[in-house]
Amino acid sequence: MTPLSRRTVLRGLGAAVGLPLLDAMIPVGRLAAAAAPPRRPIRLVCMEMVHGAAGSSAIGAKKNLWAPAATGRDFDLSPTSLRPLEPFRDHLTIVSNCDVENADPFTASEIGGDHFRSSAVFLTQSHPKQTAGADVRAGISLDQLYAQRFGQETPLPSMQLCIEPIDQMGGCGYGYSCVYTDAISWATPTRPLPMIRNPRVVFDTLFGVSDPAASPDERRARRREDRSILDWIVRSAARLRAQLGAGDRTRLDDYLESVREVERRIAAVEARNESGEPRELPSAPAGVPDSFSDHVRTMVDLQALAFASDVTRVCSFKLGRDNSNRTYPESGFAGPFHNASHHSGKEDRILEFAKINTYHVKTVAYLLETLASTPDGDASVLDNTLVLYGSPMGDSNLHNHKRVPFFMAGRAGGALKGGVHVRAPNGTPLANAMLTALHALGFDDLPAFGDSTGTMDL
Amino acid sequence: MTKLFVAALTALALADAASNVTGTWNMGLQGGHVVPVALVLKQDGTAVTGTIALPTQHAGERKEVELKGRFDAGALKLSGAADGAAEETTIEIAGKMLDDGSLEGTIAMVAGGSTHSATWTAERLKERRQ
């Protein structure tokens, strides 16, 4: 029997819903010879948080507020902001004590512009050209290197998501274009990729992109009718269901239920935000939840659906924006983010800032939890994913780029051992960790990345 | 022999750097947090001229102030007037060079009869090309 194509989609008017990996997509001979299952594609998530971490300050480093005291496998996460990741410690690769020198000023005119150029450095590890015009230049970002080589088989080579507003034009300060602050993915050294903030846009992109009939008007019409996207594909889903075995039917039903659940949450947020009730984020699109954690969770769920349906294998996810004074009361500290990061080197304020860092890391725990519970054949998506999380800034009170917070999670299909903390020698470029990650992702032939000086034993 | 020669050259270079403030300095003003500002100096004998790029009240903007003064026996004194301010504003900088070649000191901004002071440290910028 001919296996079902991995690219099979359930089609309806203005909708095209990709499918999770089903047994019916695996050739019978190979399924029977399960001793050598095919290697699943590796998914990549790159998450950036701005403003460094409390653990990058002198006091914070001594108190192990970011990196644990012990290196190797026997590390204690409890004093650190990484403690929400304890359930996933076997998937963790913590790389501490690295610097991002390409975010430092190179000339007198660049001094003081750290907030306006750092984000452009995070995934490119390249020094951005100081310009407020259109002649921007940084480097190709890590996620885009991967997407360009391994993301071409999927409908979307990559997705770029963000939480904070990124619609500023022109120069943002110190002679830097706003794109340096707003974009972390660079397709070429001169082409930053726009990031999507609105979960509705992500949802429509994921479940309409493959259908040539899915015009924006049709998508809007569908929403006006207050119907689920699944209502449009009900016949197509029933036809497919009839061809599937019991296990695949359960997988399909669970998956479609997840799609419906995310869609329902987005619709509920839109209804609330369009109701005329006062909003905390009045200028945000209706699909954007006012709550940071709700917003992040929805974006994470969308990424999990994108990976499960193989619509894309690469996501970059910008969680913050430099100079943002957003508050995170759920962190246990209600003060504004940017002010908290300027802690004056005082221990009590450093500890407050650490609460925000811990809260942000919790978002990664949710991502890992979600990916771990998303099936990928007979494994989970997490088994076949690499997550990078970090900041291009170190001690934000000094605006430096030393001892930057960084870790990886997931085992990249077995290429990373996980469960390890590596403290790099002083002065090690973070680019070394990223080059090592790229090698784990299949770039064995890549000799250098950014200002890397070598690889690390991870 | 080669090692001795290199050591001697290094010592000479350090001595020269210690007696001269010419160059670009990454200066950290110690306020509620450390604000990085560019201090660019040129020394001729003991006379020093230069600029300091101070942040304004508008985020992402800065104002360059011309400075004049002296660097003598490890002590730095500079002053300048900010053009275009609503009221006459003068900048007074005092500092000293430390053994590691960095600078530290105080900066005072005098405007409308009141003085705002802050301490600062500065390191030479490793100027690089992209």
| Model confidence band, residue B59 (pLDDT cutoffs 50, 70, 90) | confident
- For the CA atoms of B40, B42, B43, B47, what is the dihedral angle to 10 degrees? -90
Residue of B nearest to A114 (CA): B36
Q: At what angle do helices A292-308 and A246-273 cross, to 10 degrees?
A: 150
Given a cut of 70, whether residue B8 has pLDDT beyond it is no
The pLDDT tens digits for A35-94 are: 555 567 899 999 999 999 999 999 999 999 999 999 999 999 999 999 999 999 999 999
User: Which chain A residue lies closest to B53 (C-alpha atoms)?
Assistant: A109
Reported pTM: 0.91
The DSSP line for A223-270 is HHTT--HHHHTHHHHHHHHHHS-HHHHHHHHHHHHHHHHHHHHHHHHH
Could you count the other beta carbons within 10 Å of the beta carbon of residue A289? 25
In this prediction, residue B83 carries a pLDDT of: 81
Tokens representing A403 are: 């001892």
CA angle A107, A113, A116 (to 5 degrees): 130
* Furthest-apart CA atoms within chain A: distance in Å: 69
Domain A46-149+161-187+307-458 has CATH 3.30.1490: no
- Burial bucket for residue A347 (CB in 10 Å: 0-12, 13-18, 19+): middle
Contact, A129 vs A120, CB < 8 A? no
Give the pLDDT band of residue B87 (cuts 50, 70, 90): confident
The dihedral formed by the CA atoms of A75, A79, A80 and A83, expressed in degrees to the nearest 10: 80
Q: Output the pLDDT for position A70.
A: 98
Query: What local confidence, expressed as pLDDT, does residue A36 receive?
Result: 52
**Given phi > 0 = left and psi -120 to 50 = alpha, else beta, which region is A112?**
left
**Nearest by CB: A342 against B32, B126, B130:** B32
The amino acid occupying position A147 is A
Percent of chain A exceeding pLDDT 90 equals: 78
Q: Phi and psi dihedrals of A86, rounded to 5?
A: -50, -45
Mean pLDDT of all residues in B5-32: 72
**Which amino acid is residue A180, in one-letter code?**
Y
- Mutant choice from B34, B42, B123 vs A, greatest count of A C-beta within 10 A: B34
Residue with the bigger pLDDT between B129 and A231: it is A231
**What value of ipTM does the predicted structure carry?**
0.86
Q: Does residue A140 surpass a pLDDT of 60?
A: yes
Please, are residues A48 and A119 in contact by the beta-carbon 8 Å criterion? yes
Map out the domains of chain A as residue ranges.
46-149+161-187+307-458
Are A397 and B24 within 8 A, CB to CB? no
Say what the pLDDT of residue B31 is: 83
SS3 state at A182? helix
B67: left (phi over 0), alpha (psi -120 to 50) or beta: beta
With 50 as the cut, is the pLDDT of residue A309 above it? yes
Instruction: Name the residue type at position A403.
Output: R
**Within chain B, what is the greatest distance between any pair of CA atoms?**
62
Collect all residues from B whose CB is shorter than 8 A from any CB in A: 24, 26-28, 32-38, 40, 53, 55, 59-62, 125-130
Which of A227-236, A349-358, B14-23 has the largest mean confidence?
Answer: A349-358
DSSP-H helix ranges across chain B: 2-18
Q: What is the mean pLDDT of residues B18-34?
A: 91
Q: What is the DSSP string of A419-435?
A: SEEEEEEEEEEHHHHHH
d(CA B51, CA B40): 5
Q: Would you give the DSSP letter of residue A90?
A: G
Which H/E stretch holds residue A116? helix A114-122
| Closest chain B C-alpha to A106 CA, distance in angstroms | 5
A202, burial (CB in 10 Å: exposed 0-12, middle 13-18, buried 19+)? buried
pLDDT tens-place string over residues A146-188: 999 999 989 999 999 999 987 676 778 899 999 999 999 999 9
Amino acid B16: pLDDT? 58
Virtual torsion, Cα B81, B85, B89, B92, nearest 10 deg: -50
Q: Are strands A385-390 and A43-48 parallel, antiparallel or unpaired?
A: parallel
pLDDT in tens, B67-82: 999 999 999 999 999 8
The Cα–Cα gap between A337 and A356 comes to: 8
Using one digit for the tens of pLDDT, what is the confidence trace for A14-51? Answer: 788 999 889 899 887 655 555 555 567 899 999 999 99
CA B46 to centroid of chain Cα atoms = 15
pLDDT band at A210 (very low <50, low <70, confident <90, very high): very low
User: Measured in Å, how far apart are chain B's first and last C-alpha atoms?
Assistant: 37
pLDDT for residue A2: 81
| pLDDT at A77 (0 to 100) | 98
- d(CA B97, nearest CA chain A) in Å: 20
Residues A83-118 as b or e (16 or more Cβ within 10 Å = b):
bbbeebbebbbbbbbbbbbbbbbbebbbbbbbbbbb
pLDDT of residue A403: 97
Tokens of A279: 């909003």
Q: ∠ at Cα A86 (A82, A91), nearest 5°?
A: 95
Tell if the CB–CB gap between B33 and A172 is shorter than 8 Å.
Answer: no
**Is it the case that residue B1 has pLDDT exceeding 90?**
no
Is A355 within 8 Å of A332 (Cβ atoms)? yes
Q: How confident is the model at residue B12 (pLDDT cuts 50, 70, 90)?
A: very low
H or E element at residue B48: strand B47-55
